[in-house]
Amino acid sequence: MQKFNIKNLVTGGAGFIGSHLIDRLMDKGEEVICLDNFYTGVKSNLDKWYTNPRFELIRHDVTEPITIEIDRIWHLACPASPVHYQRNPIKTSKTSFLGTYNMLGLAKRLNAEILFASTSEIYGDPEVSPQREDYKGSVNPIGIRSCYDEGKRIGETLCFDYHRKHLTKIKVMRIFNTYGPRMSPDDGRVVSNFIVQALRGENLTIYGDGSQTRSFCYVDDLVDGMQRLMESKLIGPVNIGNDEEFTIYELAKVIIKKINPELEIIFKPLPEDDPHQRKPFLEIAKKELKWYPNIRLNEGLDKTIDYFRSIKIT
Ligand code: NAD
Ligand code: UDP
């Protein structure tokens, strides 16, 4: 029987990935409560849903407990860009620990399913590639990225302890670099930075020599993987991302070619602990979720560039 009355709570739903997830859930006819403190998210990402009776928005900080009746929790609330999570690192740690603790407590009380948006950052600066889910990682516990990396690691720990102690229905998803429309122009992550710089006619800023690699997943693919994980019996952890790996230099060159071949690259110092390589091992997602990334970088960048052309970025 088709379930029309699933009540979803999406924390961080006004942000980049959360708002795309909400679009999908609303399009399926489900009910959605979005909970956000608007640290990086914006109300306009959800404009099309405010008049829909199946949608509600609550301004709330996940570091505070909340009582609410729902069936499923998609726990995304946490700044994801290094610029934003490093601006107030103690708050990032609080959000990661207390926010996840509060949401797990809610899931336990309601016997609700909870999907935790973890990250490839839990692998730190990995010594192996691709990163398999059983790789334990190489994380600096005292560096400038630690508030986020260690925050997500304790988030995963909490999920598994709630599962072992209380049989809480967890799903731990390790998200690899995701990009697409609705990234904020001042998000600070590499894809949006390069596109915005190029559209403004500015030279592109590479940190380091550009030899570090990332694997970029288009947001539609990511949300598809997220939904499949929620619908599955898996508890994870499961990597979801795209396994086509590019150097940051290659990414800059592609974006320059697409937007303005006259632009140049300027090199800036590499931030502390910036991972040298990142590429997901996807066999669990492929085998267990029948999920594959479909949108290649070339196509995803075109869609993202079209988006940034359509909004005001001056
Ligand atoms: P984003 O910054 O666009 O969205 C995060 C949202 O969480 C924002 O709407 C923000 O206002 C909200 N938020 C932050 N702290 C909060 C708090 N204390 N209480 C309530 N709301 C709060 O980032 P995103 O890219 O959409 O990332 C969403 C989730 O996915 C995050 O948990 C992030 O760690 C994870 N993730 C994202 C990526 C990626 O490449 N985009 C990669 C790995 C993991
Ligand atoms: N980066 C860059 N220029 C920028 C922004 C980022 O060279 O304007 C680099 C950054 O140092 C990192 C990579 O691009 O090596 C990806 O950075 P991002 O912040 O997007 O994500 P993360 O480091 O968390 O994977």
DSSP per-residue codes, 29-82: T-EEEEEE--SS--GGGGGGGTT-TTEEEEE--TTS------SEEEE--S--SH
CA neighbours closer than 13 Å in the CB half-sphere of residue 75: 36
Handedness of CA 160, 66, 92, 23 (dihedral sign): positive
Interval 98-127 mean pLDDT: 98
| Residue whose CA is at the smallest distance from ligand 2 atom 16 | 190
| Inside any domain, residue 288 | yes
Determine if ligand 1 sits within 6 Å of the CB of residue 122: no
Tokens describing residue 80 = 């994801």
Q: How many domains does the chain have?
A: 1
Q: What is the mean pLDDT of residues 122-129?
A: 97
Ligand 2 atom at shortest distance from the alpha carbon of 197: 8
Q: Is the CB of 206 under 6 A from ligand 2?
A: yes
| pLDDT given at position 4 | 56
- Give a yes or no: residue 266 inside a domain: no
What per-residue confidence (pLDDT) applies to 1?
A: 47
Report whether pLDDT(60) > 70: yes
> Each residue of 181-202: pLDDT tens digit?
999 999 999 999 999 999 999 9
Q: Which residues are catalytic?
A: 148
Residue from 20, 84, 175 whose mutation best tests the ligand 1 pocket (most atoms within 8 A of CB): 175
Closest ligand 1 atom number to CA of residue 38: 11
Does residue 231 lie in a domain region?
A: yes
In a domain, 187, yes or no: no
Ligand 1 centroid to residue 36 C-alpha, Å: 10
151 C-alpha to center of ligand 1: Å? 13
From CA 230, how far away is CA 226, in angstroms rounded? 6
Evaluate whether residue 191 is within a structural domain.
no
CA nearest 117: which of 156, 91, 90? 156
Q: In the predicted model, is pLDDT for residue 149 greater than 80?
A: yes
**Residue 193: CB within 6 Å of ligand 2?**
yes
The average confidence (pLDDT) of the chain is 97
Residue 234 pLDDT > 50: yes
Examine the pLDDT at 314 and tell me if it is beyond 80.
no
The most distant pair of C-alpha atoms in the chain lies apart, rounded to whole Å, by 59
Write out the residue range of the structural domain in which residue 169 sits: 7-180+217-243+280-293
CATH number at residue 35: 3.40.50.720
Tell me what pLDDT residue 66 has.
97
Q: How much of the chain, in percent, has pLDDT values that exceed 70? A: 99
Which amino acid would we find at residue 225?
Answer: G
- Say what the pLDDT of residue 61 is: 98
259 in a domain, yes or no? no
Share of the chain above pLDDT 90, in %: 97
